[in-house]
Amino acid sequence: MSAITEHFDSTEFEQGGAPVPSQYLGNLYALAALLEQARAIGGGYPLRITSGYRPAADNASVGGAATSQHLTASAADFYPVGADAVEWSRAIIAAAATGDIRFGQLEVDPYGDGHVHLSLDNGVAINNAIVLVGHDPNTYADWNGGDLPPKDSGGFGDAVAETDSAESTASSNSVTAIISIALLFAILEGGI
Ligand SMILES: [Zn+2]
């Protein structure tokens, strides 16, 4: 146990058991500070972290992309315990709009397991809020904190472990690449 901030301990971000490498400790501290800020803005509900720092091997096994902010201890997945995740997220988005918090990406999964993903501003995504609207494959919709976008009616299956939009884009690119290679071999072998 090693407390980083009032409500967060470093072990909470080590769900896979791997300690956060020293080069990412700065990110970890910034992430815990961001979560403290979000926790307060969201009404003080405890945030139960289910994924924080994710070593590359673990990230690959859950289908995460090479660009996932979990790889650098810059993102956390969690449940605001006792709160409605959508309402909780709305409060964070509203605070971002008035400059009271600044994050990279906030993602909420209202039609699935209800988890929230929050990451540090990495200069690429800034106050970018999205809603997971489908699981199989992952599909997302931009969200401004207003009415929820409708659930994707196609292929909504089991909940998935990881949900960054960058990750879903990367995995669909990989699928496309695999299909293209398969097609090439089929053509070369005279199969098509
Ligand atoms: Zn995540």
79 falls within a domain: yes
Q: Say how many Å lie between the CA of residue 182 and the centre of ligand 1.
A: 31
Q: Give distance in angstroms: CA of 86 to centre of ligand 1.
A: 16
Give per-residue burial for 106-145: e unless 16+ CB within 10 Å, then b.
Answer: bbbbbbbbbbbbbbbbeeebebbbbbbbbbeebbbbebeb
Structural domain of residue 173, as residue ranges?
Answer: 10-188
pLDDT reported for residue 88: 98
54 CA from centroid of ligand 1 (Å)? 10
Low-confidence ranges of the chain (pLDDT < 50): 155-192
> Is residue 113 in some structural domain?
yes
143 Cα to the center of ligand 1, angstroms: 17
Could you tell me which residues are beta bridge partners of residue 79? 48
Residue 32 lies in a domain: yes
Q: Are strands 138-142 and 128-135 parallel, antiparallel or unpaired?
A: antiparallel
pLDDT for 153 = 63
Looking at the chain, the whole-number percentage of residues with pLDDT higher than 90 is 64
Tell me how far apart the alpha carbons of residues 156 and 103 are, in angstroms, rounded to a whole number: 28
CA 178 to centroid of ligand 1, rounded, Å: 25
Residue 5 covered by a domain: no
Q: Evaluate whether residue 176 is within a structural domain.
A: yes
DSSP lists the bridge partners of residue 116 as: 78, 108
How close is the Cα of 15 to the center of ligand 1, in Å?
Answer: 12
Q: pLDDT for 136-179, tens place per residue?
A: 777 899 999 999 999 986 544 444 444 444 444 444 444 444 44
Dist. CA 23 → ligand 1 center (Å): 20
What pLDDT is stored for residue 154 in this prediction?
55
pLDDT at 1: 60
- Cα of 191 to ligand 1 centre, how many Å? 40
Q: What is the model's pLDDT at position 57?
A: 84
Residue 2 belongs to a domain: no
Residue 81 lies in a domain: yes
CATH of the domain at 174: 3.30.1380.10
Domains contained in the chain, number: 1
